[in-house]
Chains A and B, each alone.
Chain A
Amino acid sequence: MANRDQYIVEAAKENGIYIPTLCNYTGVAPKGGCRICTVRVNGKLSTACTTPVSEGMKIENNTSDLNQLRKSIIELLLVEGNHFCPSCEKSGNCELQALAYRFKIMAPRFPFMFPVRKVDASHPKIIKDQNRCILCKRCIRAIKDEKGRSVFAYRRRSSRVEVVVDSKLGKQLTDELAQKAMDVCPVGSILVKEKGFLSPIGERKYDLFPIGSDIENVTTSK
C-alpha cells in the first residue's frame, strides 16, 4: 500500500520493509548519490530513493545479489576515505559504521586507498574532517543560511571531489545551524567544536538497535 508520488524507499518503510539508504535524508530532495538503496524495478537497476512508486511495479529488494552490491558499495566507501572508528566522535551514531555492522563487513575486499586528506578546523563553530566525508551531499542539500544560500558545496570533480565549507557563511553559522549540520552528516565528518563524547560509547543510537531494525520491527497498520 502506498501513496502516489511516494518514492519506493518511503513506501517500503511504511510497509515495514527496510531498504538501506545513506545519502537520503527526510525532508530533503533525494540525490541518488550513494547507490546503496539500489533495487531492481521491473528488471532494471534503480535507486529506491529517487524512483516514485507506480501501479503494478515489480520491485526486488532483499535478493542476495542486491545485498552483495550494497555490501560492496559500503566497502568502497570504507576504502575511499580513512575511517578510523576507535577515535571517532560519531562512533555508535554513524550510519556508515552501522551499515557495515548490518552487512557483517569484517574487512573490505578492496585495497585501502589511504588518501591524504585534511582536517579543516578553520571555521569558528565546526570541524570538517575530510578523512571521513563520504560525499553524500546531505549537508550541501540541507544546510542553507537565512538567505537560502549553500553553506557547503562540492569542489573539483571525479575522485578528487571534496565537500568544502564557505568561509564567509561558516563564520556566520548559528549554534543551531552548526548542530543541524553535524546531525545531518551521516558520519563524523562535520563535528561541532568543543563538544565531545557527551553520551558515552555503548549508549549511542546504533549501540541500542541495528540500523533499519526500527523500520523492520514495526508491524504495518495498513
Chain B
Amino acid sequence: MKNTIAKTIAKYHKDKTRLMDILIDTQEEFGYIPKQAISQIAEDLQMSEVDVEQTISFYHFFTFQATGKYNIYLNNSVVANMMGRKEVAVTFEQELGIKFGEVTADGLAGLFETSCIGMNDQEPAAVINNLIFTRLTPFRVKEIVRDIKEGKALEEMYHASYGDGENASELIRSVVSNNIRKIGPILDPDYKPGEAIKKIIKMKPEEVIEEVKKSNIRGRGGAGFPTGLKWEFCRTIEAEKKYIFCNADEGEPGTFKDRVILTELPGLLIEGMVVAGYAVGAKEGILYIRFEYKYLGQYLENILQKVRENNFLGKDIGGKKGFDFDIRIQFGAGAYVCGEESALIESAEGKRGEPRDRPPFPVRRGYFNLPTVVNNVETLCSTVKVILNGGEWYKSFGTTESTGTKLLSISGDCRFPGVYEVDWGFSINSILEMVGAVKSEVQAVQVGGPSGTLIGPNEFNRILGYEDLATGGSLIIFDRHRDILYDVVLNFTEFFIEESCGSCSTCRIVPTILMNKLKKILNARGVEGDLENLIEWGKILRASRCGLGQTAANPILSSVKNFRYLYEEKIQQKKVFDSGFDLNAAVKESCEATGRIPNI
C-alpha cells in the first residue's frame, strides 16, 4: 500500500494544491481513503492529518471507511422522486438486505443517497462505481443486484443500447441519452473546430474582448455577469499569471445542459477556453467537472489530446508564435457549493469548497490569488459563436437586456424532457407548449432550480430573461397531483441543508430552523405565527457569504409568496400558539423501556 500511495503523491509532485487528485486516485485504488494513506499524504505534503481529513470529509464521494465492491449512489432529487425513486429505493434495500448508508456484511455492495446527479431527464438514476444507470425500475434494480451478486463487470451490466450521439462512442459507452429536443446556434452540430482560433490570432486581444462586449452576453451559469466585462477586468490587471476556469460543476438540480455540451460539443467548449485565454492573457485553463460526470473523463482527455494534435491547444496555437494555452481537467468529489466560482477555485487548490469573501473577486484574486476568469460551459461555447459571427449577430437573438440563446434543461411532468435551445424572451406558456406539458394540468414551475423561483399559472405569461425570470437552465414542471410543500419545498430545503459548506453561521443554522418550522406546519401543528416566522427568519439569510446561503430560503419564501393557500390550508386557524412538541413521541422510548404507560 505504501508504494502505491507514494506513487500517487509523486505523480502530483507532492503538491498539496493537487490534494483533490491525490484523494480521487487513492480512493479509486483502494475503494476508500485508508488511515495509512492519510498519514502518508499528511507527512509528504507537510500537513497535519486533520488538515487532510478536513478536505476528505467535505466531499460527498470521499469516504474514510471501506465501502462495497459495488457502490450504488441513488440520487434523491425532486424529479427522481416524481419518477418513481421510492419503489426503486425500496427494491435496492430489499434485494441487498441493507438500508441506505450501509454496506453488505460481505463487502459486496454499498447503498447510498446522493443529491441530484444531472440526469433529471432520465430518472430515476444512480451512479454505480462511476457509471451512470438511468431510467431505473424495480425490475431493473433486481437485474442489477443479480449482476452484482454474479460479480459482473460494470460495463456488462448495461442491458439497454447505448445512448444517442457520442454516448455510444468507444470511450463513453453510456446509456445516458442526450435528449436534445431543440437546437439553435450553440447546439448546431455543424461546427468546424478551430475557425474561431484562426480568426482571433489575426485580432488583438482587446478586439476579441470588444466583440464579446458588443454581444452583451451574460454568464450562462445562473449569476448572469456580463462576460465581456469580466474578461476586460481580468485583462487590465497586471499579474505574472492568469487563469481561465470552466465551471462544469453543473450542480443546480434540474440542470443537465452542460452534460450534453461536454458529450456532443467538447471541442466547442475547449475552443471557448482558448479564446478566453487569448483575450485575457492566460496560458493555463482548468476544466472543473463534477464528479458525477466522471464517465466522460477518458473521452474528454482524448478530445484534448486530439485538439493538441491539431494545434488548436498547447504551444504556438494556430501557428501563432508565443500563443500558448493548455487545459487540464479537475474533477470535484461531490459538493454542489463548488459550483460557486470562489468555492470552485478553493477546491481546485486542494481544499474544502468554502466560498471566499468578496471583494476581491476572482478576476482580481482567484486561483493562487492570481487573476482568474471563471465561466460556465455554455458561456464559453457561446463566445466562440460570437467571435465567428460577430456581436451584432448575437444581439439578433433574444431580447435587448438578454441577448442570445439559452440552453434549457427541462424535466418533470412533461412529455418531452430534455435540452432545448431557445431565444431569451420565451414565455413560460410557450415553454409548456413546447415540451408537451398539459397546461391545464400544470400546478407550478420551478425556474432556476431550488435557488430560483416557484411560480404558478397566474405567472406563466412571464418571460425567461435577466429582466424577468432568470435561470441557469433548470426548469422543472409540476402537475396538479404533486404535493408542492412536501415533494418540492421540503426536498429543496433539505438539499440546501445537505449542500451548505457550513462555514458561515447564517447558512449553517437558519435552513434547519426553517425546515423544522415547515415540518411543524406539514404535521398539522402550525399556526399563523409560524408562517410569519418563516418569512421573517428567512430574511436573515441575506447576510450569508455566498449565493447558496443567500438563496437557501427561496423554496420556502417563494412558495409562501406564490402558493400561500397551500400553507394556509395546513395551518390551525383557531389556535394562536402551538409549541409543536409531541409529548407522546418524546416519552415513547423511555416508557417502552420501563414498561410504563404514558399518563397523557
Residues of A that sit less than 8 Å from B by CB: 30-36, 38, 45, 47, 50-52, 69, 72-73, 76-77, 79-80, 110-111, 113, 134-135, 137, 145, 147-161, 164-169
* Stretch of B41-49, B97-105, B282-290, B378-386 at the chain-chain interface: B41-49
Residues of B within 8 A of A151 (CB): 48, 50
Across the interface, A80 reaches (CB within 8 A) one of B46, B50, B509, namely B509
Residues of A within 8 A of B54 (CB): 150, 153-155
Q: How far is the CA of A31 from the CA of B545 in the complex (A)?
A: 10
Residues of B within 8 A of A156 (CB): 57-58, 502
Whether the Cβ atoms of A161 and B50 lie closer than 8 Å is: no
| B565 lies within 8 A of chain A by Cβ | no
Residues of A within 8 A of B510 (CB): 76
Known: A159-B508, A161-B502, A168-B48. 6 other contacts (CB 8 A): A32-B545, A35-B544, A76-B505, A77-B509, A80-B505, A149-B51
Whether the Cβ atoms of B505 and A154 lie closer than 8 Å is: no
Q: How far is the CA of A80 from the CA of B352 in the complex (A)?
A: 22
Q: How far is the CA of A152 from the CA of B54 in the complex (A)?
A: 10
Residues of B within 8 A of A77 (CB): 505, 509
A72 to B, closest residue via Cβ: B540
Whether the Cβ atoms of B542 and A135 lie closer than 8 Å is: no
Whether the Cβ atoms of B508 and A152 lie closer than 8 Å is: no
> In angstroms, how far is the closest chain B Cβ from the Cβ of A109?
8
Interface size, chain B (Cβ < 8 Å): 36
Q: How far is the CA of A193 from the CA of B273 in the complex (A)?
A: 56
| B543 lies within 8 A of chain A by Cβ | yes
Whether the Cβ atoms of B502 and A157 lie closer than 8 Å is: yes
Across the interface, A111 reaches (CB within 8 A) one of B53, B505, B516, B540, namely B516
Whether the Cβ atoms of A52 and B359 lie closer than 8 Å is: yes
| 5 A–B contacts, CB within 8 A, in A order | A50-B357, A135-B508, A157-B58, A158-B499, A168-B48
Quick one: CB contact mask for B539-573 with A, threshold 8 Å, 1 for yes? Answer: 01011110000000000000000000000000000
Q: Is the interface of B mostly helix, strand, loop or mixed?
A: helix
Residues of B within 8 A of A50 (CB): 357
Q: A69-B540, A135-B508 are known contacts. Are A165 and B50 too (CB-CB below 8 A)?
A: yes
Q: How far is the CA of A213 from the CA of B525 in the complex (A)?
A: 44
B45 to A, closest residue via Cβ: A149
Q: How far is the CA of A86 from the CA of B149 in the complex (A)?
A: 58
Q: How far is the CA of A215 from the CA of B509 in the complex (A)?
A: 30
Q: Which positions 489-531 of chain B face chain A at CB distance < 8 Å?
A: 497-506, 508-510, 512-513, 516
> In angstroms, how far is the closest chain B Cβ from the Cβ of A215?
22
Residues of B within 8 A of A34 (CB): 504-505
Whether the Cβ atoms of A113 and B359 lie closer than 8 Å is: no
Whether the Cβ atoms of B48 and A153 lie closer than 8 Å is: yes
Whether the Cβ atoms of A76 and B509 lie closer than 8 Å is: yes
Q: How far is the CA of A32 from the CA of B500 in the complex (A)?
A: 15
B359 to A, closest residue via Cβ: A51
Whether the Cβ atoms of B46 and A135 lie closer than 8 Å is: no
Residues of B within 8 A of A148 (CB): 46
Whether the Cβ atoms of B357 and A152 lie closer than 8 Å is: no
Whether the Cβ atoms of B502 and A150 lie closer than 8 Å is: no
Whether the Cβ atoms of B513 and A150 lie closer than 8 Å is: no
| B537 lies within 8 A of chain A by Cβ | yes
A152 to B, closest residue via Cβ: B50
Residues of B within 8 A of A72 (CB): 537, 540
Whether the Cβ atoms of B53 and A35 lie closer than 8 Å is: no
Across the interface, A153 reaches (CB within 8 A) one of B51, B503, B543, namely B51
| B5 lies within 8 A of chain A by Cβ | no
Residues of A within 8 A of B49 (CB): 166-168
Residues of B within 8 A of A113 (CB): 512-513
Whether the Cβ atoms of B540 and A153 lie closer than 8 Å is: no
Q: How far is the CA of A145 from the CA of B51 in the complex (A)?
A: 13
Residues of B within 8 A of A36 (CB): 505
Whether the Cβ atoms of B50 and A150 lie closer than 8 Å is: yes
> In angstroms, how far is the closest chain A Cβ from the Cβ of B394?
30
A74 to B, closest residue via Cβ: B505
> In angstroms, how far is the closest chain A Cβ from the Cβ of B587?
16
| B144 lies within 8 A of chain A by Cβ | no
Q: How far is the CA of A90 from the CA of B289 in the complex (A)?
A: 46
Across the interface, A160 reaches (CB within 8 A) one of B51, B502, B537, namely B502
Q: How far is the CA of A137 from the CA of B508 in the complex (A)?
A: 14
Which of A32, A36, A157, A164 gathers the greatest number of chain B CB atoms within 10 Å? A157
Which of B50, B501, B540 gathers the greatest number of chain A CB atoms within 10 Å? B50
Q: How far is the CA of A150 from the CA of B352 in the complex (A)?
A: 14
> In angstroms, how far is the closest chain A Cβ from the Cβ of B349?
15
Residues of B within 8 A of A157 (CB): 57-58, 335, 352, 500-502
Q: How far is the CA of A77 from the CA of B407 in the complex (A)?
A: 42
B59 to A, closest residue via Cβ: A157
Residues of A within 8 A of B513 (CB): 76, 79, 110-111, 113
Q: How far is the CA of A49 from the CA of B212 in the complex (A)?
A: 36
Q: How far is the CA of A76 from the CA of B537 in the complex (A)?
A: 10
Whether the Cβ atoms of B357 and A159 lie closer than 8 Å is: no
Whether the Cβ atoms of B501 and A158 lie closer than 8 Å is: yes
Whether the Cβ atoms of B357 and A147 lie closer than 8 Å is: no
> In angstroms, how far is the closest chain A Cβ from the Cβ of B39?
9
Q: How far is the CA of A153 from the CA of B57 in the complex (A)?
A: 11
Residues of B within 8 A of A52 (CB): 359
Whether the Cβ atoms of A161 and B48 lie closer than 8 Å is: no
Q: How far is the CA of A165 from the CA of B47 in the complex (A)?
A: 13
Whether the Cβ atoms of A35 and B545 lie closer than 8 Å is: yes
Q: How far is the CA of A222 from the CA of B275 in the complex (A)?
A: 51
Across the interface, A166 reaches (CB within 8 A) one of B46, B50, B505, B537, namely B50
Q: How far is the CA of A211 from the CA of B53 in the complex (A)?
A: 36
Q: How far is the CA of A19 from the CA of B49 in the complex (A)?
A: 36
Whether the Cβ atoms of A45 and B48 lie closer than 8 Å is: no
Residues of A within 8 A of B357 (CB): 30-32, 47, 50-51
Residues of B within 8 A of A45 (CB): 542-543
Residues of B within 8 A of A47 (CB): 357, 545
Q: How far is the CA of A37 from the CA of B44 in the complex (A)?
A: 39
Whether the Cβ atoms of A158 and B508 lie closer than 8 Å is: yes
> In angstroms, how far is the closest chain A Cβ from the Cβ of B405?
31
Residues of B within 8 A of A30 (CB): 357
Q: How far is the CA of A158 from the CA of B544 in the complex (A)?
A: 13
Residues of B within 8 A of A76 (CB): 505-506, 509-510, 513, 540
> In angstroms, how far is the closest chain A Cβ from the Cβ of B19?
13
